[in-house]
Amino acid sequence: MLSIAKSFQFKDAVDITIVALLIYGLIKLVRETRAGQLVKGLVLLVFLFLISSYLQLVMVSQVLTYFFQFAFVAILIVFQPEIRKALEQMGRSNMGQSIANAVTGRDRDRNRAQIRKAINAVVDGVGILQQLKMGALIVFERQTKLGEIIETGTPINCEPSGQIVGNIFFNKAPLHDGAMIIRDGMIHAAGCILPLTKNTSISAELGTRHRAALGVSEESDAIAVVVSEETGQISVAVNGVLARRFTRDTLRDVLENYLIPQEEKASTVRRKLSFISGKRTVKK
């Protein structure tokens, strides 16, 4: 121990910290998912291999040796959804977004006026739909592109307005059943099919729209706005968390806080983002 302590350098501390963070991230990723059960199975196989080697069970040891030779490829196949989710989360991190902006030359202030116009249009449209007791599902695309989802709907690519939002979700309109996708402040597509949440512990009173909103927020950094057809209640899903009972004013505040660069909204960010921890929140 003394010899190790004498040779210990700053780079060794950095090395250990990085490995610890990677292990922590892996545990956090697989916890409470199907991957968690698979990890337990792999641990049992390793334990069985050690026992078989100690007891000199030649056939069992040989079979497990062959298995572990191809384990890396098997892990990539079995854990493909979790690996993809981890890489997407890394890309959506502040560092990942900064690198992406530097590479693509994108400016955070770009389309700010257009995004604000889209927010106002959605808030106005939600007000119209509440009065008519009609449901809606509106998704704001952010860093994670939703091209695969957009392909399931009908391209529109029009300027947003409250009237257009109301017309699309009018219950006799052909596109009212799907989701509307807003990209760069424009209504990009409508009638899109979203993935449903894989969370089995959510409230049974939540319908398909709410489950789809949670699903797209789990698989991307998109923000989904839901208007309940039965109650007219406004809900917002972000990062796999659904918050309910929004008013038009609080909806506008939350959308601006998430979609408009933070430096412009610095005075209201901390005050309004009680979204996740407030009483309205329905967690996973």
Burial state string for 128-142 with b = 16 or more CB within 10 A and e = fewer than 16: bbbeeebbbbbbbbb
Amino acid at 84: R
The DSSP letter of residue 256 is H
Span 246-267, mean pLDDT? 78
Report the relative pairing of strands 154-158 and 136-140 from DSSP bridges: unpaired
Pick from 199, 244, 246: which is nearest to 219 by CA? 199
Integer Cα distance of 152 and 172 in angstroms: 20
For residue 266, pLDDT over 50 is answered with no
Q: Give me the phi and psi of 212, to 5 degrees please.
A: -70, -40
**How far apart, in whole angstroms, are the C-alpha atoms of residue 175 and residue 180?**
9
Q: Which of 23-37, 143-157, 259-273 has the highest mean pLDDT?
A: 143-157
DSSP state of 160: -
pLDDT at 277: 47
Per-residue pLDDT tens over the stretch 166-189:
999 998 888 888 999 999 999 999
Cβ atoms of 176 and 170 closer than 8 Å: yes
Report, as an integer, the average pLDDT of 60-86: 75
Higher pLDDT, 55 or 180: 180
pLDDT score of 141: 93
63-77 as b/e: b if 16+ CB within 10 A: ebeeeeeeeeeeeee
Domains and their CATH numbers in the chain: 2-92 (no CATH), 112-282 (3.40.1700.10)
| E strand map for the chain | 136-140, 154-158, 179-183, 186-192, 223-227, 234-238, 241-246, 281-282
